[in-house]
Structures are given as C-alpha cells and as structure tokens.
Amino acid sequence: MLLCGVCGQTLSPEEAAAAGQRRHHPRPASPDLPPCCPLCGATGGPPRCEERRRHTDTAELGPPGSRCLPAPERLPECPFCEEAAGRELEAHLWARHGHVLGDLGPGGNMRDLELAQQLQTEEDERQKSEEEKQEREEFKKLQRQYGLDNSGGYKQQFLKNMEREVNRGRMQPFDYHKRKADMMESLAFGVDDGKTKTSGIIEALCKYYQNENKDVRRVWLSAGVDHFHSSLGDRGWGCGYRNFQMLLSSLLQNSLYNDCLRGRRGSREEAETGHLTQTSRRDTAAIPSIPKIQSMIEDAWREGFDPHGASHFNNRLHGSKAWIGACEIYSLLTSLRIKCQIIDFHKPTGPTGTHPRLFEWVLHYYSADNGSGAKVVCASKPPIYLQHEGHSRTIVGIEEKKNKTLCLLLFDPGCPSQEMQKLLEKNSDGTSLRLLRKYLGSLKEKQYQIVAVDGVLTLEEKAVSISENSFCLRKFKRICISSLMCVYGFMVIFF
C-alpha cells in the first residue's frame, strides 16, 4: 500500500501515476514516519520544504527530474461573463456589455462630472430661488404688519369693516350710511369725531381714592386726560395715534401748553389768511383725527425733524396704516414747540425680566414737585407715553401700596369705551381698576421707551432742536447703547 507524500492518504497505483507521484518514493504505511517531499525526498513536512512548496504551487507536475515552471499570472476576468480579457478588459466590457453600462461610453468620467456639476448648479439655483421667495413673503408680511403695504389707510379700513358688519347683520344699512357721512365730515375737518372718547376718568379716580383705604398708601394722578380707544378705521395699528390723542387732550387742558398750541395754529393761519377765523378759535381744543395726525407728522419731517425716521416711511404716512412709535411722537411734539424727552429702559433691571427702574422713574416724575403728604395727589403734570414692541399705552398715575410695592395706572387704547365708562360709576367698588393697574410682574417686555413732556420751547430752542435731536433720534433708533452711557438701567436721550 502506498501513501501520498503530500497529504499522507492511501493511494492506488493508478491514482499515484495520474497525480504524477514518483514510484521510487513509495513509503511503507507507518504513522510514525513524517511525510516527505515526493520530488526531492526532504523530510520534516511541508513547512520545511521550500522546493515542495514551489512544486505544489505549480499547476502541473512534470516528470521526475523535470524543472518546474512558475504558474502563469492570472488574467483579469470580466465581471459579467467571467471570461479572461487581460488588457483588453475595458474594450471587452464596452463591446460585449455596453448595453448594461448604458450610453456613457468611453470618456464617461468627464460626462459624469459635467452632469454632477449641472445638477449641483440647478440645486443651488432652486435653493436660491426659494430663499428669495421666502424673503419676499416675509417682507410683504412685515409691510402688512406695519401698514406699509399700500392697502389703504383709516378711511379704507373704516368702510371695509362697516361693510363687513352690514353683511354679518350687525349693522343696519341706515347706520352704515350715517356713520359713513360722519366719518367723511370728520376727515374733511381733520377733527376726531369723539365717538371713542371717555372723559372724566381722572376726576372719578381722585374721588375713589379719597374713600379707598384698603391697601393703597398713596397715589399720584396726572392732569386730566381723556381716554380714546381704537375704532373700525384703526383697529390693529392705531395705538400710537390714540395715545397721542390722549396726551394732547391733557395738554389742551393746561393753559401753558394750550397757549403754545393755540399760538402755533393761529400764527400759521394768520400767515396764510391775515386773520384768525372763528372756526380756528372754536377748534383750538379739538383733537385731530388719525389722518390729520399723520399729516402733522409729515409736516414735522418737512421741517427737518427725524430725517432718518422719515426715510423709513418713505416720507409718507397719510393714507397708510403705518405704525408709529416714540420717535414719531417726539418729533411731532417738538414741532408743536412742546419740550419733551425720551427715556429708554433698554434692559430689565429686576429679577425675572422686570423693570423696577421704570416704576421708580414714574414715581419720581409725578412726586418730584409734590412734597405734601396727602394720600391722593392730583398732579399738574401731563400723562406719559409708554412704548414697547408691538403696542403703546399711556401712564396716568402710580399707586404706592402699604407694603411699599408700586403699581402703574395705564390707559390702553385697546380697552373699549364700554369698559372704561365703568370707572365713572359713583358706587364703584374698585373692581374696574383692574383695567388700569399694572404691577411690576405685568411689564416684562425686553425694552420700554417713554416720552415725557417737560415744558415748552421757544422758537429759538425749536430751531436748535431740529438739528441736534434729529442726530440723537438716529442714534436712538439703532438702540446701540453703550454701557458707559447707561445710568441705573435707563438712558435719558433728550431734554
């Protein structure tokens, strides 16, 4: 019996001859003897026989004594048909299997790059187009929000809202035509029709606090002021104009400011007509309508006040629903020779985003010239215009509680006359005061500005203020306030 010198298995003579085993190397079947190389006879197993490795790695074994040639290098095969193609593999692939690879053909790498660049360019253009579209939509949204979308002004909104009320059955056609006629007359004369006005609230509050002894230690109230609320024509955007009407209603009740305002109106008419008409004498205390206020602000811009703000509105307010803020109120008052200042509370000065410095400033404003220890102080100072992002109100007083906490009293243009008139009731229990009271935790906007009136300007002072304060207004609108300029969390912009 013969054993294979490579694997040690038993082989028949025929198998040994077919495998090319040498006949003079047969070995007895003994498990104790190590296998030897069938070609050179070296013992010790395959790991020590380099000659055996060389021969066993050869595809075919030659006859005994023949020299073994190295195996030929394996040619690369086609991945589709597994045929050896060698150096002609690429040509073989396109010739035999081009229909599988598609229509790229030779030079496809360059076409792939061009296609990728084209796709990227199209994607960039699409993304840019979407961004531009989104920017246009956001810009139009802001225009609508701030009344700069050329959709009409007070008159158009008033008529549109009345038509809607008629269609919903909330207004009779007769009332529609009557109110339309009243509105057109009001616009023609430039005077507010007074339908949203509530008078006598400050006087009623003064009487109420005289008898109220629960938790209020002292209270300071502004000079008399009328409340104006938004109407069908300015709902959603007219708060700044309504607050100006409130402030103006108080100024016209004070002889110092009334004389100044009357003198300005009279001098303008006398310059134009040579005399002061009876109509002007009667209307010196009239409150201008919202379109009239818009025209008055445009007049202030033409005089040179706040050119930066004027450019923001494209020098046009009349006939629009544009919002106005502290800067426009300041410009208008200064053009009327009313001396005022803007105080910017540009950051919270208390815990949880509160503004205690704002409350302290208001207390000092009303109490500075009233050293008496009276519980109720009806000051002669006008109310204060209060502005924050998206809304404005009027400060008409401040309470000091027995626990030393402060509470502002605010007139809100968003509060309708029906609610404000509850404050005029003789037997009021004070529950309606919740409409006015704003505690420290109620004012948590990031930033507040107030416009406070502080006397009148001479013609010379007004001329100087045109150039000086227009520059300050431009700085104020940027709201880039250095910490070195800030004192106790607020900043006095103008005096």
Please identify which of the residues 234, 306, 344, 412 carries the catalytic annotation. Answer: 412
CA angle at residue 146 from 141 to 148, to 5 degrees? 85
Which is catalytic among the residues 239, 327, 378, 407? 239
Alpha-carbon distances, residue 122 vs 112, 117, 127, 129, 443 (angstroms):
15, 9, 9, 10, 50
Phi-psi region of 274 (alpha: psi -120 to 50; beta: other; left: phi over 0): left
The mean pLDDT value of the chain amounts to: 78
Q: What does the pLDDT read at residue 453?
A: 95
Say how far apart CA 268 and CA 271 lie, in whole Å: 5
* Among 236, 51, 70, CA closest to 161: 236
- At 355-402, the pLDDT tens digits run 999 999 999 999 887 666 788 998 889 999 999 998 999 999 999 999
Give yes or no for residue 489 having a pLDDT over 80. no
What tens digit of pLDDT does each residue of 257-316 get? 887 777 555 444 444 444 444 444 434 458 999 999 999 999 999 999 988 888 888 888
pTM: 0.67
> Residue 253 in contact with residue 157, Cβ under 8 Å?
no
Contact 250, 338 (CB under 8 A): no
Taking only the tens place, the pLDDT of each residue in 76-126 is: 778 777 776 666 777 777 777 766 665 555 555 556 777 778 888 888 888
Q: Rounded to whole angstroms, how far apart are CA atoms 147 and 472?
A: 26
Whether 439 shows a pLDDT value over 90: the answer reads yes
Active site residue 412: yes
At 129 the pLDDT is 87
Contact present, 176 and 280 (Cβ < 8 Å): no
Q: Out of 68, 391, 415, 486, which one is annotated catalytic?
A: 391
* Residue 36 annotated among the catalytic residues of the structure: no
385: β partners: 394, 451
Torsion of CA 37, 40, 41, 42, to 10 degrees: -70
Contact 305, 466 (CB under 8 A): yes
Tell me the H-state helices in 65-104: 89-101
Q: In the annotation, is 306 catalytic?
A: no
